[in-house]
């Protein structure tokens, strides 16, 4: 057993790390738990099963980011991609769909994300791929679901109708109010893009009110302003993440001489501290309407659900495991953020072989710092691209990200420790959080 003991608001909070549970305890119990040896004194698990051939066969790939174009009409100040005007040929795109179906095993649903650059620069190919994937998957007794990440500058009536017809899950990249968005996301000629994006986004939200938005933080002091401005537009879910550097600027993997980059996340840390206070006040006041609204936009929703569902992650995401990205030339990479980096190339859609063995190993069995961290089953080693660009290794999270993820989990645990039985009943009855999945559900 392994515990993390801390205080919040005068309450002794205990996180049972292996069970992903939190509870309040008295002073004597807290002191006793503090004396239990920490994970730092224990060795890493030996002989990781992730690399076995059997495990490899049990991990079918069912999700793919398809770079229908690597061209873009914006020049975002933090862009991590190499400037490239390549567009995917239809032959390559359709072969990529076939490749995904061949590697999806017994999984009945495949996911295709139209990616770029700006994917809607190649809208004709998007339409053809969606129709082809739906037909081919159906013939195999499977179904195909579609997502896209877009800057929304090109969305017209035909594109929005397509999004509705194919039920495309849309993630819009938008960085907040006009002055921030225009500074960070200008067109190629330097013009701001906010006034082009806003009316198109509003039309999209009329058709797809569940559309999500992702904002990249360059100035950490503007966190609240950015979050509130995007909420006011009407987005169902707002995600804020600090900017990552580019793999194309200044070095590559270990031994390249890349210098570690630091980011000031004080604004994000302050935001989640305030958010924890808001969660507690709304739960104690039984404000179900405000809680439902907060849940879709809150930074602490994920760690709260992780603890309420006792969810243990061993990978931060599915990159190279069940998810891959395909470049405009058909090359396969472990995720969309590594496209174009030869050292992360796994294969090509015109060749059935794929070399992903190293990525099947969990950071929790490979990295001592992750194995000993109390937030290991929540963070699970963080984003490999962010790790690489900030620390020079895909296996090493930056100190500021570790601090952020640890505090997110602590605050979520502290909230649960302060919810009494009446609060928990209220949360269940009003379905503030989704019910815990039944282990027998498939």
Cβ(86)–Cβ(50) under 8 Å?
no
E strands present in 304-403: 323-326, 331-333, 345-348
pLDDT of residue 47: 42
**Which helix or strand (DSSP H or E) is residue 66 part of?**
strand 63-67
Check residue 177 and report its DSSP letter.
Answer: S
Say if strands 345-348 and 3-8 run parallel, antiparallel, or are unpaired. Answer: unpaired
Q: The pTM is what?
A: 0.85
Sign of CA dihedral 385, 389, 390, 396: positive
In this predicted structure, the answer to whether residue 259 has a pLDDT above a threshold of 60 is no
Per residue in 268-311, pLDDT (tens digit) is: 899 999 999 999 999 999 999 999 988 877 889 999 999 999 99
Residue 249 in this model has a pLDDT that exceeds 60: no
Question: Does the domain formed by 59-248+258-265+315-360 have CATH 3.40.109.10?
Answer: no
User: What is the band of 441 on the pLDDT scale with cuts at 50, 70, 90?
Assistant: very low
Q: Could you give the count of Cα atoms lying within 13 Å of 295 in the half-sphere of its Cβ? A: 16
Closest CA to 181 of 121, 222, 234: 222
Average pLDDT, integer, range 145-165: 98
Tell me the average pLDDT of the chain. Answer: 89
297 CB burial (10 A radius; 0-12, 13-18, 19+): buried
Taking residues 388-403, what's their average pLDDT? Answer: 93
Neighbours of 355 (CB within 10 A): 11
**Domain layout of the chain by residue ranges:** 59-248+258-265+315-360
Mean pLDDT of 202-225: 91
Contact 154, 187 (CB under 8 A): no
Q: What gap in Å lies between CA 312 and CA 371, rounded to an integer?
A: 13
- 220 to 128, 180, 224, 266: CA distances (angstroms): 41, 12, 9, 7
């Amino acid at each position: 057993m392994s515990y993390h003991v801390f205080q919040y608001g005068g309450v002794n909070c205990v996180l049972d790390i292996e069970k992903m549970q939190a509870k309040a305890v008295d002073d004597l119990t807290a002191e006793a738990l503090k004396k239990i040896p920490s994970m730092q004194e224990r060795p890493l698990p030996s002989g990781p099963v992730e690399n076995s051939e059997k495990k490899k066969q049990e991990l079918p790939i069912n999700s793919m980011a398809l770079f229908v174009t690597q061209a873009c009409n914006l020049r975002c100040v933090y862009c991590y991609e190499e400037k490239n005007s390549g567009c995917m040929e239809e032959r390559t795109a359709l072969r990529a769909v076939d490749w995904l179906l061949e590697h999806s095993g017994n999984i009945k649903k495949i996911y295709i994300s139209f990616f770029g650059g700006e994917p809607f620069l190649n809208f004709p190919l998007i339409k053809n791929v969606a129709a082809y994937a739906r037909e081919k998957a159906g013939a195999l007794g499977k179904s195909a679901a579609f997502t896209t990440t877009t800057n929304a500058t090109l969305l017209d009536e035909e594109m929005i109708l397509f999004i509705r017809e194919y039920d495309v899950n849309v993630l819009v990249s938008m960085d907040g109010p006009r002055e921030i968005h225009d500074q960070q996301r200008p067109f190629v000629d330097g013009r701001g893009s906010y006034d082009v994006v806003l009316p198109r986004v509003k039309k999209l939200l009329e058709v797809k009110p569940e559309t999500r938005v992702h904002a990249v933080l360059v100035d950490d002091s503007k966190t609240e302003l950015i979050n509130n401005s995007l909420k006011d537009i009407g987005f169902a879910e707002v995600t804020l993440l600090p900017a990552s550097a580019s793999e194309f600027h200044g070095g590559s993997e270990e031994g390249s001489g890349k210098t570690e980059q630091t980011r000031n996340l004080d604004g994000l840390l302050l935001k989640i501290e305030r958010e924890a206070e808001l969660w507690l006040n709304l739960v104690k006041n039984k404000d179900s309407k405000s809680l439902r609204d907060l849940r879709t936009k809150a930074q602490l929703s994920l760690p709260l659900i992780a603890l309420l569902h006792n969810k243990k992650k061993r990978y931060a995401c599915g990159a190279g495991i069940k998810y891959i990205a395909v470049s405009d030339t058909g090359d396969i990479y472990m995720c969309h953020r590594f496209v174009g980096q030869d050292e992360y190339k796994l294969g090509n859609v015109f060749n059935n072989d794929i070399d992903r063995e190293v990525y099947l190993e969990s950071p929790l069995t490979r990295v001592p710092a992750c194995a000993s961290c109390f937030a290991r089953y929540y963070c699970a080693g963080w984003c490999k691209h962010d790790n690489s660009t900030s620390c020079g290794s895909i296996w090493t999270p930056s100190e500021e990200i570790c601090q952020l993820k640890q505090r997110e989990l602590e605050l979520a645990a502290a909230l649960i420790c302060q919810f009494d039985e009446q609060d928990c009943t209220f949360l269940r009855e009003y379905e503030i959080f989704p019910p815990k999945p039944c282990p027998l559900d498939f």
